[in-house]
């Protein structure tokens, strides 16, 4: 039995994955130390940092108000594998994820728990994530999806005027700050490690929805997020992974009636993105000059191409997951279309 809990294991295990962001990690842990919830533990999974992040966690743990553990990897195993490590090392019935570049308001865990425990069918709860540099602006409050598999945060870029301040359904939570029911993870499995990073939360969340679990927004669970702190918002590798994993997500989980149309939807989205770029809007505006925009275009192309060798593996996983499906193809398509982002929104708003 972990120290610090007289009644058994904590109710919540918070997993924080870290890679070379010591100062951000320390701020993240300070926000967790200030939580109003009393029955939780924190597990930091360090992916081979070289900036003394692991040593900092060890020092902080000595005076941390709840149990704080460190799992130290010799190399960067990626977001998916590291989170799976943290989940496997814990036994709490609720799992919360918090990015190392995010800071949670004191009621964060309590609000997530309140929403996820409102009904046993709720397997996931989404936080209200605001932009750290501009906390009046929404980073994301749950997710929406475009029919080619590209997803985008709900409300991304909007000024927060309370328009999402109600408990309601969303497609899935953003892995930056989310809560999952362990019973759901035990049933469907954890993160797909072939995704490495980006869209991994989309794949896990959609898999949960297809297995019959619901996802609700917890608007009182507020987090402030440094956007793009891991690879940078204008990183070509980031854009490549996002596009690659879009293809993998669709192949693995989309109904065939929607999958056959993937190329057409992709072409429409790219055309919309190009038109937005001409007007200096959307994702491509972050890539300055002709050289930057060419780099972004190559990253998009390479992302699609690099998905091809993994398609047979995704098709095998698709078959293996069939027995856990509670929604049929028509119901999955209806769900995706109900939680669909418009072409204008996905083209003109950056991730």
DSSP string, 217-276: EEEEEEEEE-TTTTT-TT-HHHHHHHHHHHHHHHHHHS-HHHHTTHHHHHHHHHHHHHHH
Q: Where are the domains of the chain?
A: 12-225, 236-348
**205 contacts 171 by C-beta, under 8 angstroms:** yes
Give the dihedral sign, CA 274/275/278/279.
Answer: negative
Give the residues across from 16 on adjacent strands.
Answer: 44
Residue 279 to residue 275: CA distance in whole angstroms: 7
| Distance of alpha carbon 346 from the chain centroid | 17
pLDDT (tens place) for every residue of the chain, 351 residues total: 334 444 578 999 999 999 999 999 999 999 999 999 999 999 999 999 999 999 999 999 999 999 999 999 999 999 999 999 999 999 999 999 999 999 999 999 999 999 999 999 999 999 999 999 999 999 999 999 999 999 999 999 999 999 999 999 999 999 999 999 999 999 999 999 999 888 999 999 999 999 999 999 999 999 999 975 554 455 778 889 999 999 999 999 999 999 999 999 999 998 887 777 666 666 655 555 556 667 777 777 888 899 999 999 999 999 999 999 999 999 999 999 999 999 988 887 655
223 Cβ contact partners less than 8 Å away, ≥ 6 residues apart: 98, 102, 103, 104, 105, 108, 127, 128, 129, 130, 176, 177
What does pTM read for this prediction?
0.91
Q: Bridge-partner residues for 46, per DSSP? A: 18, 72
CB 211 within 8 A of CB 255: no
Task: Check residue 93 and give left, alpha or beta (phi > 0: left; psi -120 to 50: alpha).
Answer: alpha
| Residues with Cβ within 8 Å of residue 264, at least 6 apart in sequence | none
Provide the pairing of β-strand 151-153 with 143-145: antiparallel
Give residue for tokens 């360090």: 46
Residue 130, beta-bridge partner list: 138, 224
Strand 151-153 to 12-18 pairing: unpaired
Distance, in Å, from the CA atom of 51 to the CA atom of 33, rounded to the nearest integer, reads 22
Q: Domain 12-225 falls in which CATH fold?
A: Spore Coat Polysaccharide Biosynthesis Protein SpsA; Chain A (3.90.550)
Pairwise CA distance, residues 175 & 40, whole Å: 18
User: Minimal CA–CA distance to 171: which of 195, 155, 183, 187?
Assistant: 155
Return the residue matching tokens 């000595």.
62
Distance, in Å, from the CA atom of 280 to the CA atom of 257, rounded to the nearest integer, reads 34
Q: Are 29 and 64 in contact (CB under 8 A)?
A: yes
> What does DSSP say about strands 151-153 and 68-73: parallel, antiparallel, or unpaired?
unpaired
Residue with tokens 């295990």: 13
Taking each helix axis as running N to C, give the angle between helix 236-253 and helix 289-307, from 0 to 180 degrees, rounded to the nearest 10: 30
């Amino acid at each position: 039995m972990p120290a610090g809990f007289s009644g058994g294991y904590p109710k919540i295990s918070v997993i924080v994955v870290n890679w070379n962001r010591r100062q951000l990690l320390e701020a993240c842990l300070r926000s967790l130390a200030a939580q109003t919830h009393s029955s939780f533990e924190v597990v930091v999974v360090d992916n081979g940092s070289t900036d003394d992040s692991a040593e900092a966690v060890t020092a902080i743990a000595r005076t941390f108000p709840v149990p704080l553990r460190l799992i130290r990897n010799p190399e960067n195993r990626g977001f998916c594998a590291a989170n799976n490590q943290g989940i496997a090392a814990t036994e709490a019935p609720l799992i919360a994820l918090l990015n190392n570049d995010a800071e949670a308001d004191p009621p964060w865990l309590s609000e997530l728990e309140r929403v996820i425990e409102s009904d046993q069918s709720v397997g996931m709860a989404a936080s209200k994530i605001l932009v750290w540099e501009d906390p009046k602006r929404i980073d994301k409050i749950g997710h929406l999806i475009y029919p080619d598999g590209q997803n985008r945060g709900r409300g991304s870029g909007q000024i927060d005027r309370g328009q999402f301040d109600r408990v309601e359904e969303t497609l899935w939570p953003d892995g930056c700050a989310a809560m999952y029911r362990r019973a759901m993870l035990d049933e469907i499995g954890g993160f797909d490690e072939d995704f490495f990073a980006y869209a991994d939360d989309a794949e896990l969340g959609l898999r949960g929805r297809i297995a019959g679990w619901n996802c609700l927004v917890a608007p009182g669970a507020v987090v402030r997020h440094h956007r793009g702190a891991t690879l940078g918002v204008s990183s070509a590798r980031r854009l490549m992974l996002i596009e690659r994993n879009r293809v993998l997500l669709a192949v693995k989980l989309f109904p065939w009636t929607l999958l056959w149309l993937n190329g057409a939807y992709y072409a429409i989205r790219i055309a919309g993105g190009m038109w937005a770029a001409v007007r200096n809007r959307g994702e491509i505006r972050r890539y300055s000059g002709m050289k930057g925009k060419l780099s972004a275009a190559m990253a998009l192309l390479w992302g699609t191409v690099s998905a091809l060798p993994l398609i047979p593996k995704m098709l095998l996983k698709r078959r293996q997951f069939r027995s856990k499906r509670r929604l049929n193809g028509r119901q999955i398509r209806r769900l995706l279309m109900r939680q669909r982002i418009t072409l204008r929104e996905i083209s003109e708003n950056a991730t």
